[in-house]
Amino acid sequence: MRSPFKTLDKSFEIKRLTIAALIAAVYAAVTMLLQAISYGPIQMRVSEALTLLPILFPEAVPGLFVGCLIANLISAYGLPDIIFGSLATLAAAMLTRRLRKNMWLAALPPVLINAVFVGILLRVQINAPLLPTMFTVGVGEAVSVYALGIAMILGLRKLSPLLARA
């Protein structure tokens, strides 16, 4: 006789994997669709609004990492952007998850980490001026995360009573 718990465990894991994959796909698709504004010293990566999803879903952490990695495959900044840009997103997602009890504070890691890491990356890759690049990347990130991301989280919480408690 099959244990009902084994089926439950498998379906739960499939659900978690599906959520992570969906987040990765949306992140990559939005970044690539808006690639004209998603890369470079002056950027507004709209997909970064999704970096607040770890507040609601732990599966968003690996999903954001994979989505960023896929999106950075078409970046003009090559392997350093693929590796370090994706790792910056992973670090930000992990910190956002850890700070999830305060949405406004949880939004800070994506802004600060991307401003610093992307600023340094662009300095090394194309000799962009460091502080102005950190500033412009940070401003674009702040708009995506604080304006779009927080609106998204508030909307998701309104849609689902279960998410309201998260």
Q: What is the DSSP string of 44-94?
A: --GGGGGGGGGGT-TTHHHHHHHHHHHHHTT-TTHHHIIIIIHHHHHHHHH
Q: Is residue 73 part of a domain?
A: yes
Residue 40 lies in a domain: no
**107 in a domain, yes or no?**
yes
The confidence score (pLDDT) of residue 161 equals 73
Residue 144 lies inside a defined structural domain of this protein: yes
Count: domains in the chain: 1
155 part of a folded domain: yes
Q: Considering the domain boundaries, does residue 65 fall inside one? A: yes
> Residue for token digits 């879903």?
57
What average pLDDT score do residues 51-63 get? 97
Residue-wise pLDDT for 108-127, tens only, equals 999 999 999 999 999 999 99
- Asked if the model's pLDDT at residue 73 lies above 60, the reply is yes
Tell me, yes or no, whether 59 lies in a domain.
yes
| Exposed/middle/buried for residue 157 (C-beta within 10 Å: 0-12, 13-18, 19+) | middle
Q: Which DSSP helix (H) or strand (E) runs through 27?
A: helix 4-33
Residue 85 has pLDDT above 60, yes or no: yes
pLDDT at 12: 79
Please check the confidence at residue 43 and state whether its pLDDT lies above 60.
yes
The reported pLDDT for the residue numbered 37 is: 96
- For residue 50, the enclosing domain spans 4-35+45-164
Which of the pair, 159 or 112, is modelled with greater confidence?
Answer: 112
